[in-house]
Amino acid sequence: MNFQWLQDYGPMLWRGVAVTAQLLLLSGGLGFALAVAVGFARLSRQPFLAWLSLSFTNLIRGTPLLVQIYVLYYGLGSLFAGFPALRDSLLWPYLREGFWYVALALALSVAGYVGEVVRGGLAAVPKGELEAARALGMSRLTAARRIWLPRALLILLPSLAGETVLLLKSTALASTVAVMDVLGAANLVRAQTLRTYEPLLTVALIYFALAWLIERVFLRLEKRLPVRTAF
């Protein structure tokens, strides 16, 4: 094993780690917000809204994430490139970058998978708590914001930790559309140094460390919360 290449390529790997972290935070935050909406929509009394959310989750969960990234990057990217007004606008420097398409694809993936998890958590909240909230005069929206969703999230914290780790590993697909994440940086190192195993081993250790950090954050969050399980 020879790791002398780290002296020259270490900074590039760290920049790749930063890109991976940005993808994780951006797609995780947007995806979770969409997942909450999907979870509530799945339990909606409006048939069309429930059907629409179910169709969305089936589409996302039934197609490979790599295909979704390609559809957005090559499909939307080519479509946007056909509009001169967009190419001349301030948005074009962002619309031509693969980073944003990958972030959107990952966010939609989170919405599809975590949306079903949120739906299960919402359904697991004891109905007595919601009835008590209504008895206290809370509106449906207030009860959902102050009682229903927080209780569901308390139940789902272990599952959300696992989903976040899965999202971290999914960010590795960004390198397939020329995004210089940590795996993309490692592939460039391999191409320029002809070292096969050392860059991949280094990347594996980086992902392991990030996954461990995510699990520790969620574990600490669980311990700090006053209630962690459903009744």
How far, in Å, are 119, 210, 218 from residue 3 at the CA level?
47, 21, 33
Task: For residue 72, give the amino acid letter.
Answer: L
The angle subtended at Cα 148 by Cα 51 and Cα 108, nearest 5°, is: 45
Q: What does pTM read for this prediction?
A: 0.90
Give the integer Cα–Cα distance in Å for 102 and 99.
Answer: 5
Q: How far apart are CA 51 and CA 46, in angstroms?
A: 9
How confident is the model at residue 226, as a pLDDT?
A: 61
Q: What is the pLDDT of residue 18?
A: 96
What is the DSSP secondary structure assignment for residue 226, as one 8-state letter?
Answer: S
Contact criterion met (CB below 8 Å) for 162 and 156:
no
Neighbours of 67 (CB within 10 A): 10
At 231, the pLDDT band (50, 70, 90 cuts) reads very low
Specify the pLDDT at position 228: 44
- Spatial CB neighbours of 74, under 8 Å, sequence gap ≥ 6: none
| Range scoring the smallest mean pLDDT among 57-66, 126-135, 209-218 | 126-135
User: Average of pLDDT values for 107-136?
Assistant: 89
Question: Mean of the pLDDT values across residues 184-212?
Answer: 92
Per the model's pLDDT, the better-predicted residue between 134 and 101 turns out to be 101
